Amino acid sequence: MLRPFIDAHVHLNTPTLEKLKMAKDLDAYFVSINTEIPFFISLKEQEKTIHKLNEFDKRIAFITSFETKNINEDNWSDRAIQQIKTGLDHGARAVKIWKNIGMDASLKDREGNFIMVDHPKLMPIYQYLSDNDILLIGHQGEPRNCWLPLEKMTVDSDRNYFSEHPEYHMYKNPEYPSYEEQMKARDNVLEKFPKMKYVGLHLFSMEYDIEEVAKRLDKYPNTKTDLAERICHIQLQAKNDPEKVRDFFIKYQDRIIYGTDVIDDGSFTAKEATERLKYLWNYHWKFFSTSQTMEAEEFKGTFKGLELPEKVLTKIFRDNAIETYRLDKELLTY
């Protein structure tokens, strides 16, 4: 495994120290993304937890976000911007916008329409971020599998997730915006604010086809993407066309960021969360760095690792995160 390396997409919402002790042994660092998820602790508590963990060993950078409560009030965007400013003042490296905008039936405008990410309500936020060179990271929509029946989904991880979270399974909610509408709304924002720096998390939610991801990276030069919780989709494509997948990573080596999306929220013991991180790190490194024949939990069949060049691995597993999230020497030295 690369030393040091960065898992640039986690949610570290408990103060347990086992994960930091393990990370120190492996020379690993984190970017923890604060998100307005209903079953998470509050955004304030998420930030407090990161600061508490960093008192033990400063290995975690964090991303701030904003609340969507009372989004229809006239001064909502002012309050959201103030919340963003506070997070940045406390050390946040970027701002997160989440899929609840566009996929939460409680977030509708006064005419009863779903508030999408390109809604006028959000324009002052994007303008503020663009004007002040503040990075936005976005999880919009879901994997395309979300709009398919369970039996037609391509990977078991999606099948399991949407079985447990039917409120986000859009096949069962046809009155919600379509997958295409979600992607178009996100693209509309990128077109309206071309100077705004943006990371399309989870392969831009276009994990089913790396050609679609490539189209966004080509069309929007100020964007990057991350791999969090979508590597199995890459492996599925590598099973069928390994050279195409390998070429994608080499071509876009400066714009891809590694992350696992591991959630440490108390649902698992500290030991279990730590072991999950360690397992994924080693498993993913094997896929990207070797040509060994492998299997995935999420689908049947075998595939070979990509055996990417060392310089590409270094960018994806460390350097791109350093540049994108402006990780200074106070957090990471080598």
Confidence of residue 165 (pLDDT cuts 50, 70, 90): confident
Residue 299 burial (10 A CB sphere; 0-12, 13-18, 19+): middle
Predicted pLDDT of residue 168: 80
Q: Which amino acid is at 247?
A: D
Task: Tell how strand 299-304 and strand 293-296 pair up.
Answer: antiparallel
Predicted pLDDT of residue 308: 98
Other C-beta atoms closer than 10 Å to the C-beta of 163 total 12
Distance CA 215, CA 183 (A): 13
- Residue ranges per domain, the chain? 5-325
Distance CA 283, CA 262 (A): 14
Which percentage of the chain shows pLDDT scores above 90?
96
Average pLDDT, the chain: 96
User: Is residue 27 scored above 70 in pLDDT?
Assistant: yes
Confidence of residue 23 (pLDDT cuts 50, 70, 90): very high
Averaged pLDDT, 44-52: 98
User: Is residue 131 scored above 90 in pLDDT?
Assistant: yes
Distance CA 204, CA 226 (A): 8
Residue 251 burial (10 A CB sphere; 0-12, 13-18, 19+): middle
Q: Which CATH architecture has domain 5-325?
A: Alpha-Beta Barrel (3.20)
Element (H, E) at 262: strand 262-264
DSSP β-bridge partners for residue 262: 10
Q: Are 290 and 225 in contact (CB under 8 A)?
A: no
* pTM higher than the cut 0.95: yes
User: Is residue 333 scored above 70 in pLDDT?
Assistant: no
User: Is residue 320 scored above 90 in pLDDT?
Assistant: yes
User: Is residue 330 scored above 90 in pLDDT?
Assistant: no
Tokens matching residue 180 = 């295409």
Averaged pLDDT, 309-330: 94
Predicted pLDDT of residue 232: 97
Predicted pLDDT of residue 167: 80
State the DSSP string of 9-67. EEEE-S--SHHHHHHHHHTEEEEEE----TTSPPHHHHHHHHHHHHHH---EEEEB---
**Cβ neighbours for 2, distance < 8 A, ≥ 6 positions apart:** 285, 313, 314, 317, 318
Averaged pLDDT, 30-43: 97
Distance CA 288, CA 316 (A): 10
User: Is residue 56 scored above 80 in pLDDT?
Assistant: yes
Other C-beta atoms closer than 10 Å to the C-beta of 292 total 11
Q: Are 252 and 227 in contact (CB under 8 A)?
A: no
Distances (CA, A) of 32 to 152, 224, 260, 306, 324: 32, 17, 11, 27, 14
User: Is residue 198 scored above 80 in pLDDT?
Assistant: yes
End-to-end CA distance of the chain: 15
How many residues does this entry show for the chain? 334
Q: Which residue has the tokens 């290995």?
A: 59
Sign of the dihedral through C-alpha 203, 96, 48, 325: positive
Distance CA 83, CA 65 (A): 8
Confidence of residue 334 (pLDDT cuts 50, 70, 90): low
Confidence of residue 15 (pLDDT cuts 50, 70, 90): very high
Q: Are 149 and 156 in contact (CB under 8 A)?
A: no
User: Is residue 331 scored above 90 in pLDDT?
Assistant: no
> Strand, coil or helix: what is 300?
strand
Alpha-carbon dihedral 90, 91, 95, 99, rounded to 10 degrees: -80
* pLDDT (tens digit per residue) in 200-229: 999 999 999 999 999 999 999 999 999 999
Please choose, from the candidates 183, 39, 235, the residue with its C-alpha nearest in 3D space to the C-alpha of residue 11.
39
